[in-house]
């Protein structure tokens, strides 16, 4: 005879296992013991490392492009590669990724071509890729609004029995938005197959976590609405991969949503036009650089004989090659036809819109008449 | 909670049918109760909306209906009465009290191939969802260069005249029509309510469907043939002397005003816009060119209200045919008044007739 | 040889101080290699170069301040695919530079296209510049005034505060056309200018040539300018004509015939024999239509109009009488459609109603001839060798000498005169 779960039962089910973040590979590159996460296989670890190296190189390249006037803005995720890569590699092909504007590396890791992925930041189109083709939702500036979209998409998958899981990324600042709370609540009520990954990098532009919330940890935002939660070391790619993989499996099995808080750090400023020195100290940055996600995994792989200099060099070459592709993609003229501004307001342009389009095209043609 | 999207057969209905609450349905439209009724029997607007939802749910397994209190209760105005029982809770269901959540998850469901028809319980309660509606619902097709299609309908009971306390009588159409990418439609009658809602659900664009709650209990037969297209205005009463443009709850008022105007010697043509955005320039400008005089009536505040757009458009398109300036008869530029004063605020037949009188008739030879 | 210009480094920078070079002339640089350190108002920033190549020149000494957009370093680029030119987005001093969320402001370009001043249509300007804009009751009435050539400043509006109403414009239009004007197809008296009330304080009155008057004037001028016309005339004994008319009308008074209709019938009949007079000249050709669309001059309050009776060659005298009457009434009421005022191939003109005999009429361009009839009055005439008093009228034919010669014109006029003199004998050709 089973009794219905008590409140305490439900709290225990949703709470993160402990106040310490879970991890598999420490900052020193040594493996940590934990029963709650499973170390990924060697081939996955190597792939995590390779993709992080590439991701960092592309991040640096994008920052450089803003300094050369080729991108309008680039919110860097340098230092957050473990989340960017670890979470995406944990997805299956049928799953959906809902990225924020800082998750370009995740979008690129999901194999969206650079020209398409960077179209938004270039100022070319609001979204340069077909979401259905890559199962990646468009990036945009509003925060936390995508959490609701992810829950809705997951709910539809549930109703249609098609099995895909939605992974939605959010930052620490986004967790203050009402939409985030509503999304967690809906996900809980529906037991929707959605995974929330909160990359807590300590700052929302310049506002530190202490001013953002009094929550004991962002992972505790789940227990209040009955959503199972985890707190992990966000600079540990193996832990990120394992936690997301586990959560995806949980959701795919119909056992509901998961909220994962991953502790990490935003090494660069908010964007290329931000001055981070105004709100944080060099020591803090240096302390986090010592916990770099790539270096620790490299150390681990070398210690285990899974990576050597030649391998590293090869990865570096690949990264350079991809960086060159990105530069190439951004070097040409933008692919824009002003007439298209009117083409997708509705499924079919109205007569009034067509008239406005013709008006603009005439204006443009008149400009061309001047010597 | 698993569920299936196959149509629930009509027999699998509730075991108890509340015969006290008569929701009567016209031929060719099936009610949530699966009852066909005699031809020409008048239907309330609530009944027409109910039938439209039921028929849409039956016709397309991708259609969902959700919101606050729409499932078990059948909606605070009974518009969704009986639907959950007939189609099951995977298709018609209650949500948490979170309007942004309702619209945001609807967007996600539409991204994944479903056709959500959501309800905002009252016009003013849609404001928490305003960001989702204007930043995302209206823009995701455009944002993705046409790759994402969001066939979502947001039903909103709107407008005053029912003696509601504050926040229950807003008319916020101006905010939505000013947002490119949204369709905004509003029926003035039960027949239009049925067909416009069906068309809105079938439309590939997101639709803000404004339901004039003042007219929820008006009755008329609903013909089986679909009415005009979703983007067309309709001339409800032809006339020679002046074009009276109205929508939603005030269509009925406009028709009454036209009848009264006949006694004073004016032959008034009443145009029911139906679609606030996009706007049917051809029909409306065509009418004004014929009559030379135009009046727009709406209950929302006049300043920067919908009537301003109509007046500007018609002035541009019909300038040389005009015998008088285009006048607007609207609510005052005040927050909606308390119930005991709302009659003073809402445009009625008298205010419309007074406005007609100001259309420079003395200039006729 | 691309120059790398000092880019804006964010936050509204206008210049930066070069702190140190990280490369020298002759060094090879790689893409994104840091080539210099500059100091902004905030901090020292490392500047990566967007293309690879060999440094050929550096453009500043450490310690100097450079404006954003000025050349920093010149490099011979290695790779054609690399970014050669300075990025288009690098801005000179004034714009904001990169902002948190985008490229920032850009300098406003000079006007992109030359504006051709749109010609103000001459008809739109009042002849006398008006000091202020006249309030008119509605756009439709304003347009009415403009189309009729009415000067709004000369109207005393009867609406509140002098608002010009439709009735005021209608009155002004009527006043325009009722001013005495010479029948344009005759050599008549010039436009009369009313004498001033006090001759000592003589003030000229000015009548603008607008609207219908203007249109007619232009047509007449063109006719005289283009057409080398000649005129033939003949007096004809119309006694028989009048008798015939009286007989016809006695027989069927409800279906009367008019003198003008009889003349028109003879004119049309004559055109069958002399079709060149029904023609018009088009480029180098004389085009002779198969039909006769007969115009006739009608005097109305609005001025001279020439209604056209289409296919007059198919009409009887009674038909023509009715048509003439109907169109005359319509013309006087202003109800003729534009289609009824154009397309004529030949014109007849009864100027006898003005009490004169002859006229060197102006041809109704682009027609080639116009037939006129003067007053019918008692004149001495020789009948069978005896002097008698007969009803005599002068017929005139003005014709375009390019379309035909005197023989044709004379022959035609003689024929018409014969018909007038002997309607019975004219039967042979009708």
Is B323 in contact with C167 (Cβ distance < 8 A)?
Answer: no
Structure tokens at C280: 């018009």
Interface contact C139-B363, CB threshold 8 A: no
Tell me the three state secondary structure of residue B353.
helix
Cβ-based contacts of B107 with chain A (< 8 Å)? 148-149, 152
| Interface contacts (A, B; CB < 8 Å) | 148
> What are the angstrom distances between the C-alpha of B302 and each of B280, B281, B309, B331, C106?
21, 21, 11, 6, 38
Please list, in sequence order, all residues whose beta carbon lies within 8 angstroms of the beta carbon of residue B50, skipping any fewer than 6 positions away. B23, B31, B32, B78, B79, B80, B81, B82, B83
**Chain B interface mutation, best of A126, A148, A185, A256, highest count of B Cβ atoms under 10 Å:** A148
| A107-116, A151-160, B10-19: least confident range | B10-19
For residue A123, list chain C residues with Cβ-Cβ distance below 8 A.
102-103
- The closest CB to that of C113, out of A60, A123, A367, belongs to A367
Enclosing H/E stretch for B246: strand B242-246
Altogether, the residues listed in chain B come to a count of 365
d(CA C424, CA C414): 16
Going by C-alpha positions, the residue among B330, B327, B325, B267 that lies closest to residue B297 is B330
**Which of C3, C11, C29, C102 would you mutate first to test chain A, the one with the most A CBs within 10 A?**
C102
Q: What is the count of residue pairs from B and C with beta carbons less than 8 Å apart?
A: 26
Residue C377 phi/psi, 5° resolution? -135, 165
* Average pLDDT of the segment spanning B250-268: 97
pLDDT in the model for residue C162? 85
pLDDT of residue B8: 28
Give the closest-approach CA distance of B186 to chain A in angstroms: 18
Question: Does residue C47 carry a pLDDT above 70?
Answer: yes
Residues of C with CB under 8 A from a CB of A: 7-11, 31-32, 42-43, 47-48, 50, 81-83, 87-90, 97-103, 112-114
Which residue, chain included where needed, has tokens 């100022």?
A123
Residues A150 and A166 sit within 8 Å (Cβ to Cβ): yes
- For chain C, the maximum distance between any two Cα atoms, rounded to a whole number of angstroms, is 131
Query: Which segment of A22-36, A153-167, B132-146 scores lowest on mean pLDDT?
Result: A22-36
Strands laid side by side in the A258-263 sheet = A96-98, A166-171, A194-200, A258-263, A228-233
Contacts of A203 (CB under 8 A, 6+ apart): A172, A173, A209, A266, A270, A279, A280
Q: What's the whole-number average pLDDT of chain C?
A: 81
Cα(C125)–Cα(B55) distance, rounded to whole angstroms?
64
pLDDT at B231 over 50: yes
Checking if the pLDDT of C132 tops 80, the result is no
Whole-angstrom distance, CA of residue A32 vs CA of residue A320: 33
Residue C160 sits at the chain B interface (C-beta within 8 Å): no
Give the residue with greater pLDDT, A104 vs C153.
A104
Residue C30 has a CB neighbour count (10 Å cut-off) of 12
Lowest mean pLDDT among A110-119, B236-245, C51-60: C51-60
Query: Average pLDDT over chain B, rounded to whole?
Result: 90
Q: Does the structure show a pLDDT above 60 at A236? A: yes
Chain B residues inside the 8 Å CB shell of A170: none
Question: Percentage of chain B surpassing pLDDT 90?
Answer: 86
Domain residues of chain A, as ranges?
10-335, 337-371
Those residues with Cβ within 8 angstroms of residue B252's Cβ, 6 or more apart along the chain or in another chain: B188, B189, B215, B218
Distance from CA of C255 to the nearest CA of A (A): 57
Angle at B167 between CA B172 and CA B116, to 5 degrees: 60
> By mean pLDDT, which of A117-131, B341-355, C160-174 is the weakest?
C160-174
Residue pLDDT, tens place only, C308-334: 999 999 999 999 999 999 988 888 877
Q: What end-to-end distance do the CA atoms of chain B give, in Å?
A: 74
Confidence of residue A33 (pLDDT cuts 50, 70, 90): confident
What SS3 class is residue B217? coil
Q: Which phi and psi (to 5°) does residue C60 adopt? A: -160, 155
Question: Rounded to 5 degrees, what angle do the CA atoms B15, B18, B22 make?
Answer: 135
Give residues 312 to 351 of B whose Cβ lies within 8 Å of A: none
Which range, of A117-121, C102-106, C131-135, averages the lowest pLDDT?
Answer: C131-135
By percentage, how much of chain B surpasses pLDDT 70?
A: 88
Q: How far apart are the C-alpha atoms of C67 and C8, rounded to whole Å?
A: 9
User: Which residue does chain B place closest to A336, by CA atoms?
Assistant: B145
pLDDT digits (tens, 9 = 90+) for C354-374: 899 988 889 988 899 999 999
Residues 6 or more apart from C37 whose CB is under 8 A from it? C18, C19, C20, C22, C44, C45, C46, C47
Dihedral sign computed on CA atoms, order B327, B330, B335, B338: positive
CA-wise closest residue to C65 among C9, C135, C15, C14: C15
Residues B246-262 have a mean pLDDT of: 97
* pLDDT greater than 80 at residue B36: no
Q: Which residues of C touch A328 (CB under 8 A)?
A: 81
C140 touches chain B (CB under 8 A): yes
CA distance A218 to A369: 59
Q: In the sheet that B268-272 helps form, which strands lie side by side, from edge to edge?
A: B234-237, B268-272, B242-246, B294-301, B327-331
The two most distant CA atoms of chain B are separated, in Å, by: 74
Q: Give me the count of residues in chain A.
A: 371
Q: Find chains touching chain C: ≥3 CB pairs under 8 Å.
A: A, B
Q: Long-range contacts for B254-260 (Cβ within 8 Å, ≥24 apart)?
A: B254/B297, B254/B352, B256/B349, B257/B349, B257/B352, B257/B353, B257/B356, B260/B349, B260/B353
Average pLDDT over residues A246-255: 98
- Residues A88 and A360: their CA atoms lie apart, in Å, by 42
Confidence of residue B24 (pLDDT cuts 50, 70, 90): very low
Q: From the list A64, A275, A366, which residue is nearest C32 (CB)? A: A64
From B278, which residue of chain A is nearest by alpha-carbon distance?
Answer: A350
Tell me how far the alpha carbon of residue C394 is from its chain's centroid: 38
**Domains of chain B, earliest start first:** 10-220 (3.40.50.970), 234-364 (3.40.50.920)
Between A145, A166, A347, which is nearest B132 by CB?
A145
Examine the residue annotation and report whether A102 is marked as an active-site residue of this protein. no
List, as one string, the DSSP characters of B30-89: --TT-----TT--EEHHHHHHHHHHHHHHH-TTEEEEESS-SSS--TTSTTTTHHHHH-T
Residue, of C147 and B278, whose pLDDT is higher: B278
Name every chain A residue with its beta carbon within 8 A of the beta carbon of C89. Answer: 69-70
Q: Which residue of A has its CA nearest to C86?
A: A68
ipTM rounded to 2 decimals: 0.91
Give per-residue pLDDT as tens, C187-204: 444 444 444 445 555 677
Least confident range from B284-298, B320-334, C118-132, C298-312: namely C118-132
Q: Which tokens in the block code for residue C322? A: 């009715």
* pLDDT reported for residue C13: 60
Residue A156 and residue B113 in contact, taking contact as beta carbons nearer than 8 Å: yes
Of A344, C420, C248, C348, which Cα lies nearest the Cα of B142?
A: A344
A272, A275, A327: residue with CB nearest C42? A275
Reduce the DSSP state of residue B266 to 3 states and report it: coil
The architecture of the domain spanning A10-335 is 3-Layer(aba) Sandwich (3.40)
Q: How far does the CA of residue B275 sit from the closest CA of chain C (Å)?
A: 29
**Which subunits count as partners of chain B given 3+ CB pairs below 8 Å?**
A, C
Suggest the residue from B5, B6, B90, B104 to mutate for an interface test with chain A (most A CBs closer than 10 A): B104
pLDDT at C78 over 70: no
pLDDT of A330 strictly over 60:
yes
> What pLDDT does C84 receive?
41
Whether residue A138 lies within 8 A of chain B, CB to CB, comes out as yes
């Amino acid at each position: 005879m089973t009794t219905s779960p008590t409140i305490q039962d439900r709290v225990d089910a949703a709470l993160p296992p402990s106040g310490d973040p879970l991890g598999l590979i420490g900052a020193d590159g040594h493996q940590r013991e934990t029963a709650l996460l499973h170390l990924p296989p060697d081939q996955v670890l190597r792939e995590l490392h390779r993709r992080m190296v590439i991701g960092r190189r592309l991040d640096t390249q994008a920052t450089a492009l803003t300094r050369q006037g080729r991108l309008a803005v680039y919110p860097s995720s340098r230092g957050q590669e473990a989340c960017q890569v670890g979470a995406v590699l944990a997805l299956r092909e049928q799953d959906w990724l809902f990225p924020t504007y800082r998750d370009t590396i995740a979008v690129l890791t999901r194999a969206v071509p650079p020209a398409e992925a960077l179209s938004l930041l270039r100022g070319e189109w609001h979204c340069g890729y077909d979401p259905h083709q890559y199962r990646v939702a468009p990036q945009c500036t509003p925060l936390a609004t995508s959490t609701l979209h992810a829950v809705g998409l997951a709910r539809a998958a549930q109703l249609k029995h098609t099995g895909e899981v939605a992974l939605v990324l959010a930052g620490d600042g986004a967790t203050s938005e009402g939409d985030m709370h509503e999304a967690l609540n809906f996900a809980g009520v529906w037991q929707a197959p959605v995974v929330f990954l909160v990359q807590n990098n300590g700052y929302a532009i310049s506002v530190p976590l202490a001013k953002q919330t009094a929550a004991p940890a962002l992972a505790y935002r789940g227990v209040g609405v009955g959503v199972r939660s985890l707190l992990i070391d966000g600079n540990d790619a193996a832990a990120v991969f394992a936690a997301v993989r586990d959560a995806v499996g949980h959701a795919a099995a119909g056992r509901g949503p998961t909220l994962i808080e991953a502790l990490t750090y935003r090494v660069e400023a908010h964007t290329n036009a931000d001055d981070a020195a105004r709100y944080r100290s060099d020591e803090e940055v240096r302390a986090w650089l010592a916990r770099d996600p790539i270096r620790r995994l490299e150390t681990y792989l070398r210690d285990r004989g899974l990576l050597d200099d030649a391998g590293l060099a090869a990865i570096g070459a690949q990264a350079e090659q991809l960086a060159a592709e990105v530069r190439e993609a951004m070097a040409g003229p933008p692919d824009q036809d002003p007439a298209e501004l009117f083409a997708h307001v509705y499924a079919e342009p109205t007569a009034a819109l067509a008239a406005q389009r013709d008006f603009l095209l005439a204006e443009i043609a008149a400009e061309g008449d001047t010597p | 909670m698993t569920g299936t999207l196959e149509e629930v057969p009509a027999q699998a209905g509730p075991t108890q049918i509340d015969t006290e609450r008569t929701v009567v349905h016209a031929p060719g439209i099936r009610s949530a109760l699966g009852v066909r009724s005699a031809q020409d029997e008048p239907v309330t607007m609530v009944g027409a909306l109910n039938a439209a939802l039921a028929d849409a749910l039956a016709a397309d397994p991708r259609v969902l209906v959700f919101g606050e209190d729409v499932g078990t209760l059948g909606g605070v105005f009974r518009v969704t009465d009986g639907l959950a029982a007939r189609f099951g809770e995977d298709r018609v269901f209650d949500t948490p009290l979170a309007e942004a959540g309702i619209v945001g998850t609807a967007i996600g469901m539409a991204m994944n191939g479903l056709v959500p028809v959501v309800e905002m319980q009252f016009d003013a309660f849609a404001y928490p969802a305003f960001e989702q509606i204007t930043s995302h619902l209206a823009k995701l097709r455009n944002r993705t260069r046409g790759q994402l299609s969001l066939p979502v309908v947001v039903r909103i009971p709107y407008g005053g005249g029912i003696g509601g306390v504050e926040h229950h009588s807003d008319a916020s159409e101006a905010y939505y029509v000013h947002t490119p990418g949204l369709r905004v439609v509003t029926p003035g009658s039960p027949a239009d309510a049925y067909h416009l809602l069906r068309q809105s659900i079938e439309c590939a664009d997101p639709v803000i469907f404004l339901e004039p709650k003042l007219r929820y209990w008006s009755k008329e037969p609903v013909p089986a043939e679909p009415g005009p297209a979703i983007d067309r205005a309709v001339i409800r009463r032809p006339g020679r002397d002046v074009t009276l443009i109205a929508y939603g709850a005030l269509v009925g008022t406009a028709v009454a005003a036209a009848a009264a105007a006949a006694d004073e010697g004016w032959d008034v043509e009443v145009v029911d816009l139906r679609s606030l955005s996009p706007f049917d320039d051809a029909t409306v400008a065509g009418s004004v060119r014929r009559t030379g005089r135009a009046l727009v009536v709406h209950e929302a505040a006049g300043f920067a209200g919908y009537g301003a757009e109509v007046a500007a458009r018609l002035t541009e398109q019909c300038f040389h045919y005009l015998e008088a300036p285009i006048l607007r008869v609207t609510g005052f530029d005040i927050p909606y008044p308390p119930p005991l004063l709302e009659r003073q605020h809402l445009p009625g037949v008298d205010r419309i007739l007074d406005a007609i009188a100001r259309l420079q008739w003395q200039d006729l030879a | 040889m691309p120059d790398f210009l000092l880019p804006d480094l964010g936050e509204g920078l206008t210049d930066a101080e070069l702190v140190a070079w990280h490369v020298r002339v002759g060094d090879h640089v790689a893409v994104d290699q840091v080539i210099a350190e500059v100091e902004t108002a905030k901090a020292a920033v490392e500047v990566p170069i967007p293309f690879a190549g060999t440094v050929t020149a550096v453009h500043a000494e450490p310690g100097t301040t450079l404006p954003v957009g000025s050349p920093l370093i010149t490099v011979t680029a290695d790779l054609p695919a690399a970014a050669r030119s300075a990025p288009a987005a690098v801005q000179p001093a004034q714009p904001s530079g990169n902002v948190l969320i985008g490229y920032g402001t850009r300098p406003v370009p000079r006007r992109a296209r030359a504006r051709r001043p749109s010609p103000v249509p001459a008809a739109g300007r009042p002849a006398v510049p008006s000091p202020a804009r006249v309030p008119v009751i509605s756009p439709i009435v304003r347009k009415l005034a403009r189309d009729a050539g009415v000067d709004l400043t000369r109207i005393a509006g009867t609406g509140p505060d002098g608002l010009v109403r439709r009735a005021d414009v209608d009155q002004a239009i009527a006043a325009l056309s009722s001013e005495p004007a010479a029948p344009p197809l005759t050599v008549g008296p010039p436009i009369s200018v009313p004498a001033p009330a006090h001759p000592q304080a003589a003030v000229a009155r000015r009548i603008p040539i607008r609207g219908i008057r203007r249109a007619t004037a232009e047509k007449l001028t063109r006719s005289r300018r283009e057409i080398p016309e000649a005129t033939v005339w003949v007096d004809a004994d119309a006694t028989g004509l009048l008798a015939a008319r009286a007989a016809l009308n006695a027989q069927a008074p409800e279906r009367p015939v008019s003198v003008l209709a009889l003349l028109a019938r003879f004119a049309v009949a004559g055109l069958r024999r002399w079709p060149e007079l029904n023609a018009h000249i088009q480029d180098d050709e004389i085009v002779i239509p198969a039909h006769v669309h007969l115009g006739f001059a009608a005097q109305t309050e609005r001025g001279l109009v020439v209604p056209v009776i289409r296919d007059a060659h198919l009409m009887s005298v009674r038909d023509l009488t009715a048509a003439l009457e109907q169109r005359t009434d319509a013309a006087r009421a202003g109800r003729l459609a534009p289609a009824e005022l154009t397309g004529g191939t030949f014109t007849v003109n009864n100027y006898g109603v003005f009490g004169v005999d002859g006229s060197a009429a102006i041809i109704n361009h682009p027609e080639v001839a116009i037939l006129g009839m003067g007053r019918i009055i008692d004149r001495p005439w020789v009948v069978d060798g005896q002097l008698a008093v007969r009803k005599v009228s002068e017929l005139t034919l003005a014709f375009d000498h390019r379309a035909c010669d005197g023989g044709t014109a004379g022959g035609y006029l003689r024929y018409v005169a014969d018909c007038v003199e002997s309607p019975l004998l004219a039967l042979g050709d009708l």
